[in-house]
Amino acid sequence: MAAVNGDIQQRFAYEPYGEDQELDSDFTAYSGVDLKWTVRFTGQELDLGTGLQLCRNRYLQQSLGKWISSPLKNPHLPAILQQDFPIAKDG
C-alpha cells in the first residue's frame, strides 16, 4: 500500500487462499502502526474482527482454505454467483 506521495507504507505477502503476512516496505516483518486494511487478497473484504475473508456472498477461512458458511442468498445476484463451488487445498 502506498501513500499519496508514492511512499510505500506496507506490503503484504500472500499464501494460497489469501492468508497474508504484513511486511514493511523493505519486505521485513511489519513494525509500523496497524493501518487496518480491510481489502486484501483478490480485492475481497477482510473482516478484521474475525479474520475471515468475505468472498462475494460467503466467508472463507484462509488458513484452512475452507468455506465456513453456505452462500448467502441475495436476490440481486445472478444465480451463477450463488452456487456452492468447492475449494480445493492440498494438505
C-alpha cell at 30: 511489519
pLDDT band at 90, cuts 50/70/90?
low
The pLDDT tens digits of the residues spanning 6-30 come to 888 888 888 876 677 888 888 898 8
Residues 6+ apart with CB under 8 A from 66: 60, 87, 89
Beta bridge partners of 12: 22
| CB-CB neighbours of 60 under 10 Å | 21
**pLDDT for residue 89:** 56
